[in-house]
Amino acid sequence: MSDLADLSIAEARDGLRKGDFSAVDLTNAAIYRAAVTESHLHAYLTLDQEGARDAARKADADLADGVDHGPLQGIPLAVKDNMTTRGIETTAGSKILSGYVPPYNATIIDKLHDGGAVLMGKTNLDEFAMGSSTENSAFGPTRNPWNTDRVPGGSSGGSAAAVSVGSAFGAFGSDTGGSIRQPASLCGLVGVKPTYGLVSRYGLIAFASSLDQIGPFARSVRDAATLLESVAGFDIRDATSYRGERPAISSHLDAGVKGMKIGIVAELTGEGIDAEVNDACRAMYNKLSDAGAELVEMSLPATEYALSAYYLIAPAEASANLARFDGVRYGLRVDGETTEDMMSKTRAEGFGPEVIRRILLGTYALSAGYYDAFYGQAQKVRTLLRNDFASAYEKVDALVSPTSPTTAFAIGEKTADPLSMYLSDVCTIASNLGGDPSGSVPIGLDGDGLPIGFQVMAPALHEAQLFRLAAEVERLAGFDARPALATSEVKPA
């Protein structure tokens, strides 16, 4: 049964302007969808029904007055709860920030408001975006809409689950090592990590500053492009924001891949990748070839070391970024005799195990005597990796691989073994270390009915190529399955 909550952003935008329905209708449809699915999924940490309806009424009033704020006007969207929202609790999935009500908006929130979007609420995540399953949230896990015994991926699992069932038309997450692309893959969605610096990080609670990037989740490549175009651009408040002109994003969606040169990353094909995932990707390589692209297998040797380098660099940056959570200015405080005592108790009580693990790892990797062997060496490997990608992009326009080595795994399956969880990010991490744009497009279901994602990668600022290839993969895959929970007729659990 189709209803308003199943429309694409493009369809909703057109229908609003034709007067087929109102933004309030769209918002009510998304709220109803949340009401029947949330007890199954726990995608949202905060669902702001009142704020959403107010924003929808405003969007309708503006449209009636002929004031058009662009393609997101009146569209219900969700954002990951590590982006600050003035007056709305922002926790980053952590007990240490439980109850924190930010006095300012992240730039992306301001941009969504300016665009007339309807903010549905804040979505669940692994604490401080550290994880690949959303099981590390201090407020309980999110479940995968395709099978609620499985994880939705992470860390932006709440955003993925919400878009997948229609309790949001689109959403934003953050991606430090795959936290948009991997949950998009596991939930059958399009997810994009843009070029580093393209979307402002102001107000994004920092995990690893040289890797973090905000990007969209959508049910189509075109919707993902619309979402990204609405929030990309230079921001004076983010010192690492890209200062040049915003690159084209949706200019080549219908161009096809004829004449495009595409490299298959040899190191991410075969060993360590689930056979069904590999087969589905191979079938897509053949289809792209039949569609006129020139495919060639390429070796990027440093890719094999990307995960190791990442698990030194990201925790090192995290250990510095998370020093600010000390019980002084906001969030949890556990009393102590002295200030240092108070800080140490607050942090031990307020952070969950994965966050503590990474702070310890990062502190160690940066400490005197070990810096050169670990952090310094990882930074050099980062250079080698960038060199590998740079030389690959001299020969090809884009690179492809699976997004995730497996489809959605069972809740609890990897929580006891941190290293096995880290391996979920083996295909996605290189794009973060390099700063290049990368996305996941759903291409089919495995034997258990779980979605398989296909990763597309392009050189920095070549978003137009990335979306061109993604759009063709989407067309060739013809993936139009939706999870059984994506209906307003489901009974709340």
Complex with another protein: residue 51 or 336, whichever CB lies closer: 336
Q: Of 416, 400, 316, 417, nearest to 358 (Cα)? A: 316
Convert residues 217-256 into a mask of x (bound to another protein by CB under 8 A) and - (unbound): -------------------x--xxxxx-------------
In this structure, what token pair is assigned to residue 10?
A: 């493009």
CA 252 – CA 247 distance, rounded (Å): 12
- Site residues for another protein, 263-302, by CB under 8 A, read 302
Instruction: Look up 491 and say whether it is catalytic.
Output: no
Q: Exactly one of 206, 361, 464, 470 binds another protein (CB under 8 A); which one? A: 361
The answer to whether 433 and 310 are in contact (CB under 8 A) is yes
Question: Is 234:461 a contact under the CB 8 Å cutoff?
Answer: no
- d(CA 266, CA 261) in angstroms, rounded, equals 15
Residues 178-207 binding another protein (CB under 8 A) are 196-197
Q: What is the rounded distance in angstroms from the CA atom of residue 197 to the CA atom of residue 381?
A: 21
| Contact flag: residue 30 with another protein (CB under 8 A) | no
Q: Tell me which H or E stretch contains 135.
A: none
Question: What is the phi-psi region of residue 121: left when phi exceeds 0, alpha when psi lies from -120 to 50, beta otherwise?
Answer: left
Nearer to another protein, 20 or 341 (CB): 341
The closest alpha carbon to 285, from 109, 94, 455, belongs to 455
Contact pick of 297, 341, 448, 480 for another protein (by CB under 8 A): 341
Task: Identify residues 96-135 at the interface with another protein (CB under 8 A).
Answer: 100-104
Q: Is 173 in the site for another protein (CB under 8 A)?
A: no
Q: Which of 39, 286, 299, 383 binds another protein (CB under 8 A)?
A: 383
For another protein, give the closer residue by CB, 372 or 489. 372
Beta carbon nearer to another protein, 18 or 329: 329
CA distance 221 to 332: 40
Among 364, 415, 482, 490, binds another protein (CB under 8 A): 364
Total residue count of the chain as it appears in this document: 493
Torsion 7-8-9-12 (CA) sign: negative
Q: Count of residues binding another protein (CB under 8 A)?
A: 73
374's CB contacts (< 8 A; 6+ apart) are 312, 364, 365
Supply the Cα-derived Rg of the chain in whole angstroms: 21
Residue owning tokens 């810096």: 371
Q: Rule CB under 8 A: is residue 49 a binding residue for another protein?
A: no
Per-residue x/- marks for another protein, 411-440, CB under 8 A? -------xx--x----------xxxx----
80 is catalytic: yes
Residue 33 engages another protein in binding (rule: CB under 8 A): no
**In the complex with another protein, which residue's Cβ is closer, 359 or 408?**
359
The DSSP call for residue 455 is: E
Q: Which residue of the set 22, 132, 174, 179 is catalytic?
A: 179
Query: Quick one: which segment of 57-65, 147-155, 254-262, 334-342 binds another protein (CB under 8 A)?
Result: 334-342
- Nearest partner of 429 among 240, 219, 271, 208, judged by Cα: 208
Q: Which amino acid is at 437?
A: P
CB of 249 to another protein, least distance (A): 19
Nearer CB in complex with another protein: 396/460: 460
Determine how many CB atoms are found less than 10 A away from the CB of residue 493.
11
- Binds another protein (CB under 8 A): choice among 61, 296, 360, 390: 360
> What minimum distance in Å lies between the beta carbon of 91 and another protein?
13
CA–CA separation, 412 and 362 (whole Å) = 25
155 part of the active site: yes
Of 23, 41, 186, 460, the one binding another protein (CB under 8 A) is 460
Catalytic residue among 132, 137, 155, 438: 155
- Considering only residues 301-330, where is the footprint of another protein by CB under 8 A? 302, 305, 307-309, 311-312, 319, 323, 326-330
Catalytic center residues = 80, 155, 179
